[in-house]
Amino acid sequence: MLGDLVCEGRSKVVGMRVLPNGKLEQTVMMQGTFLREELSATWTSEGESRPDGTGHTEFHGFFTIKSGAMGQYSGNGNGINKPDGP
């Protein structure tokens, strides 16, 4: 399994809005494969950029696999924006 492709897909932003608290919300749909099975996934993320150049995002979503399995997931991340890139 080490070195094998786990997940691959193409995604599209299907909705985006600025929330009353100033955070950006976007909803994304993805089609692809997960462990060589067809996968459909949808998630919504809510993120903010802070004055110090850092940012925080939280996301929640669900997926279905062609064989009938389905599930949900959530997560969060922190980062920093650099003027010259990563």
Angstrom CA distances, 1 to 9, 42, 65, 67, stand at 19, 26, 20, 21
80 falls within a domain: no
37 falls within a domain: yes
| pLDDT at residue 86 in the model | 59
- Beta 24-34 vs 37-49: how paired, if at all? antiparallel
38 falls within a domain: yes
Q: How many domains does the chain have?
A: 1
Q: Containing domain of residue 22, as a range? A: 7-62
SS3 sequence of 53-83: CEEEEEEEEEEEECCCCEEEEEEEEEEECCC
| pLDDT at residue 45 in the model | 96
- Note the pLDDT tens digit of each residue in 39-66: 999 999 999 988 888 999 999 999 999 9
Statement: residue 22 has pLDDT above 70: yes
77 falls within a domain: no
- Rounded CA gap, 3 and 15, in Å? 34
pTM of the model as a whole: 0.79
57 falls within a domain: yes
Reported as a pLDDT band with limits 50, 70 and 90, residue 73 is very high
41 falls within a domain: yes
